[in-house]
Amino acid sequence: MLECTTAWFREHQIPFDHVELIGTHHKIETAKKFSVDAFFEDKHDNAVGIHEELDIPVFLFDTPYNRNPIPKGVIRVKDWQEANQQVQRLFA
């Protein structure tokens, strides 16, 4: 899965320093370990918790199951291209 993900990022010219596929556990701890500047998530509760704990932008991929209200630091995106555009807007 990691090779597939990084190949897709390269193919679509989405810059990255590190990709960590962590499943559903220890996301906050892993984000702290790598001192991430942003986080990508598809679960509403995880996105809000990560943002509140780490005070970093979290990009929440829009799905029918996660359409609850979000705080300002959680940014809803429809796909990786939109996520990349938002990253460029925030960090350029």
Digit-coded pLDDT (tens) for 13-59? 888 888 888 776 789 999 999 899 999 999 999 999 999 999 999 99
Q: How many CA atoms lie within 13 A of 17 on its CB side?
A: 6
pTM (2 d.p.):
0.83
pLDDT for the residue numbered 1:
85
In the structure encoding, which two tokens stand for residue 5, read together?
A: 């993900």
Cα 22–chain centre separation? 12
Number of domains observed in the structure of the chain: 1
pLDDT, residue 79, reads: 95
- Look at residues 57, 87, 55 and name the one whose alpha carbon lies nearest to residue 74: 57
12 pLDDT higher than 90: no
Residue 28's domain comprises: 18-91
The reply to whether 6 falls in a domain is no
CB 38, CB 50: distance < 8 Å: no
Residue 59 lies in a domain: yes
Residue 52 lies in a domain: yes
